Structure 1
Amino acid sequence: MSNVFIVGYDGTKDGRRALDFALERAKSQNAEVHIVYVLEWSPYSFLTPEELEQRHARRKEEVELASTQIMSPLLKELEGAGIKVEGVIRYGKIPEVICDVAKKAGAMQIIVGRNGGSDIAARVFGSVPGTLIQISPVPITVVP
């Protein structure tokens, strides 16, 4: 297990509180922070070959947009924090991607905000923190 904190970041106030919490812990423990931003997509559509090609192009555009508008400015802001910070942008189901990144990094902990997305969606599909608690390979901290 390495000295790495994984932060599930979604650009919300709750996500920022989780990031700030992780940065404080990382400073005190001389650890790294890997910020994970996940673009969700649904595998439940049946698409023609043309639609699949268009979808692939959209995915690439969305990753580039997330990089330029969310992750790059965030990493630039954190340059002087005195902590090694990495950004990860992936497509997929948020809890599964965060757990995969944590496993590959040998992380010691995952930190997420309490809320993300709508309350209705959380009730119907389950919340990201709730799912992470069930499937995570490492301890989870949910920041209120």
Structure 2
Amino acid sequence: METVVVGVDNSDASTRAVEFAVERARHNDWKVVLVHVVPWSPYSFQTASENEHRHREKERELAAATEQVLVPMARIAEDGGVPHSEVVRHGKPSDTITDVARETGAVHVIVGRTGDGGLREAVFGSVASRLVQHAHLPVTVVP
């Protein structure tokens, strides 16, 4: 059984990407790995006080992302009857999605065209754009 990674966030485009992946997974006997990345850089500048609380805050962010993003997306896969798993991590979204694809032996990445990245992504480029340019495997961008 081949694996396909689907990058997800809290956007309508992400929901469409999961629906697209689930439909194809049913026909192609794929396992779907849903990946949500909480943007974070280990190189960000923080005060000593912030560093003391960062671990707890990261754990809270992961739990919130699981509940608010991954659980609803996993329901789509469950309703579609396809095997799936969920991954939530901190990092740079495009790099982390690629890392998970490599770790799981995925043969394909699927993402929505627009996500909830906001102005920063509009100025510096989208996750989908970075994946298309730098991923080591095929990437499908769902409008």
Structure 1 and Structure 2 fold alike (TM over 0.5): yes
What displacement does 1:32 show? 0.4
The one-letter code of the counterpart of 1:19 is V
For the 8 Å contact 2:11–2:116, the answer to whether it is kept is no
Matching of residues 22-61 of structure 1 within 5 Å: 22-61=21-60
AA aligned opposite 1:4: T
Structure 1 distance, partners of 2:39, 2:137, is: 22
Deviations 1:16-49 (A, max 9, x none): 0000110011100011000001100244432244
Q: Give the alignment's TM-score, normalised by structure 2.
A: 0.90
Q: Which moved more, 1:94-103 or 1:58-67?
A: 58-67
For normalisation by structure 1, the TM-score amounts to 0.89
How much has 1:129 moved relative to structure 2? 0.8
Q: 1:69 Cα shift? A: 2.7
The change in CA–CA distance for 1:139 and 1:52 in structure 2 (over 3 A counts) is: same
Does 1:109 find its partner at 2:105? no
What percent identity do the matched residue pairs reach?
40
Determine the C-alpha separation between the residues in 1 that align with 2:130 and 2:21. Answer: 20
The Cα of 1:92 is off from its aligned counterpart by 0.4
Please give the per-residue CA displacement for 1:104-132, whole angstroms capped at 9, x wherever unaligned.
Answer: 11111000001113563233211111100
CA apart distance, 1:77: 5.0
8 Å CA contact 2:18, 2:73 repeated in 1: no
The DSSP-based 3-state class of the residue aligned with 2:137 is: coil
- In structure 2, do the counterparts of structure 1 residues 72 and 52 end up closer, same or farther at CA, with 3 Å as the change threshold? same
Q: Return 5+ residue gaps in structure 2 as ranges.
A: none
Unpaired stretches in structure 1, ≥5 consecutive residues: none
- 1:108-127 map, 5 Å: 108-117=107-116, 120-127=119-126
> What is the deviation of 1:73?
4.0
Q: Give the superposed CA RMSD.
A: 1.8
Task: Summarize the Cα distance change of 1:72–1:118 in structure 2 as closer, same or farther, 3 Å threshold.
Answer: closer
The match for 1:74 is 73
**What is the match of residue 19 of structure 1?**
18
